[in-house]
Amino acid sequence: MKRQLKIVAVIAAAGLLAAGCGDDDSTSSGGGDGGGGEKLTLGAPQDCEENAFCIPGLKDTYGVDFTDSFTPLDLDLIPTSLEQDAIDVGVFLSTSGKLTDDKFTVLEDDKGMLAADNVFPVASKELETAYGDDLATVLNDVSGKLDTDALIGMNKRYEVDHDDAADIAKDWLADNDLAGDESATPKDGPAVKIGAQDFGESAILAEVYKQALTGAGFNASTVEVGGFRDLLFAAFQSGDVNLAPDYVSSELDFLEEGSASSDVTESLDKLKPLLEAKNLVAYDASDAVDTNTFVMTTDRADELGIKTLSDLADKVNG
C-alpha cells in the first residue's frame, strides 16, 4: 500500500518543516553586543506590552525600551526563567513570597513610576452608616500596621509553606496586637460579609480583616467571590459582600480606565467619588503595596552593578 507510506512521508516532512521554522520565538540570554548598551531581556505577563506600569512606563519614566526584548510569560514561571538565565529581568508582584529568597533582588523604582497599589478596605455605605467609627477604628488600625514586607512574609507562608490563610492571618494579628478579644461584646447591626478575590493574598487579607473585626465583637465572615474585581463589584451590588480588601490603583483603573498613578493620595482622592456613586466608602490605605515590580537574580544584578531601574536603563542604553 503506497498510500500509508505517502501519509508517513507527508507527516514527516511537515513536522520537520514546522519544527524548523518554529524556533524564531525562543529568546537567548543577553550578553554584551559590541555597540552601546547591554542587551537585556524582560520576561513579564502578556499585558506588560500595554500596561502603563510596565513597558510603556519604563519607556516614559526611565527612557528604556523593552518592546523588542520582551518575552511574554506566565507570572508563576518567571522565577524559574530568571534562575535559568532565560531572561535577565522579570516582573514579580511586589508582595510575592518568592522575594524572601536572597537570590532575587528587587530593582528600586527610584523615579516613582510603579502603581500605588496600596491595600485598603472598601465598605458599603450601609455598613459605614450602621457602625460608624467603631468599624473605621478596627479597619484603620489594621491598615496602619500592614506593610509590603508583612505581606511578603504572609504570602511566603501561603505559597511556599502552604499554610492556611486563617492561621497566617491569626499569627500576624497576634504579633501586631490586633487580635482583640474573642469574648468581646457582640455588636448589634448587619453582619459583615468580606469578599475575597480568587488569589491567595486576597484570601489572607480577607481573613486578616475578618479576624480583627471578630475580635472587636463584629459578626464577620468571608465570602469567596470566585473571580476577580468584576465579580467583587457584582457581589457588592447584589449585597452578598459589604466589605472587601482591594488595591487603590487597580480599583481606580477598573472604575475609570487610565486614571491610576504612582501617587496613593491622589489616586485615593480620585477613587472616593467614583466609589460614592456606587454607594461604597474607602477606608485608609495601608503601606502594603502589591504591584508589578522588576526583579533580577542577585548574581546578575551584582555582576552588572544594577540596583535601581535607572541603573537598568543606563546599562541597556549604554
Partner 1 sequence: MGDAWSDMWSYLGSDAAWHGRNGLPELTLAQLKLAFAALAVAALVALPPAAILGHLRRGGFLAVSIVNLGRAVPTYGIVALILPFSLRWGFGLGFWPTMVALVLLAIPPIFTNTYTGVRDVPPDAVEAAKGMGMQAGELLRRVEVPVALPLILTGLRVSAVQVMATATLGALVGYRCLGSPILSGIQKQDKGAMLAAAILVALLSLATDGLFAVGQRVLIPWRRGQVKRSEDVTVTPAETLQAPAVP
| Residues within the interface to partner 1 (CB under 8 A) | 1, 3-4, 7-8, 11-12, 14-16, 18-19, 21-23, 25-28, 43, 45-47, 49-51, 71-74, 76-77, 80-81, 84-87, 228-230, 254
Return the residue matching grid coordinates 507570572. Answer: 75
Shortest Cβ 103–partner 1 spacing (Å) = 15
Shortest Cβ 28–partner 1 spacing (Å) = 7
Shortest Cβ 131–partner 1 spacing (Å) = 31
3-state secondary structure the chain: CHHHHHHHHHHHHHHHHHHHHHHHHCCCCCCECCCCCECCCEEECHHHHCCCCCHHHHHHHHCCCCHHHEEECCHHHHHHHHHCCCCCEEEEECCCHHHHCCCEEECECCCCCCCCCEEEEEEEHHHHHHHCHHHHHHHHHHHHHCEHHHHHHHHHHHHCCCCCHHHHHHHHHHHCCCCCCCCCCCCCCCCEEEEECCCHHHHHHHHHHHHHHHHCCCCEEEEECCCCHHHHHHHHHHCCCCEEEEEHHHHHHHHCCCCCCCCHHHHHHHHHHHHHCCCEEECCCCECECCEEEEEEHHHHHHHCCCEHHHHHHHHHC
Nearer to partner 1, 143 or 297 (CB): 297
Is the sign of the CA dihedral 81, 295, 265, 221 positive or negative? positive
Return the residue matching grid coordinates 499585558. Answer: 47
Q: Identify the burial level of 159 via C-beta atoms within 10 angstroms of its C-beta, where 0-12 means exposed, 13-18 middle and 19 or more buried.
A: middle
Nearer to partner 1, 9 or 191 (CB): 9
Measure the CA–CA gap between 314 and 318, rounded to whole angstroms: 6
Shortest Cβ 99–partner 1 spacing (Å) = 20
Shortest Cβ 5–partner 1 spacing (Å) = 8
Nearer to partner 1, 20 or 35 (CB): 20
Residue 76 backbone dihedrals phi, psi, to 5 degrees:
-70, -20
Nearer to partner 1, 113 or 255 (CB): 255
**Residue 273 CB neighbours (<10 A):** 10
Shortest Cβ 278–partner 1 spacing (Å) = 17
Nearer to partner 1, 189 or 228 (CB): 228
Shortest Cβ 182–partner 1 spacing (Å) = 39
Nearer to partner 1, 204 or 232 (CB): 232
Nearer to partner 1, 167 or 299 (CB): 299
Nearer to partner 1, 86 or 289 (CB): 86
Shortest Cβ 250–partner 1 spacing (Å) = 10
Nearer to partner 1, 76 or 149 (CB): 76
Shortest Cβ 11–partner 1 spacing (Å) = 5
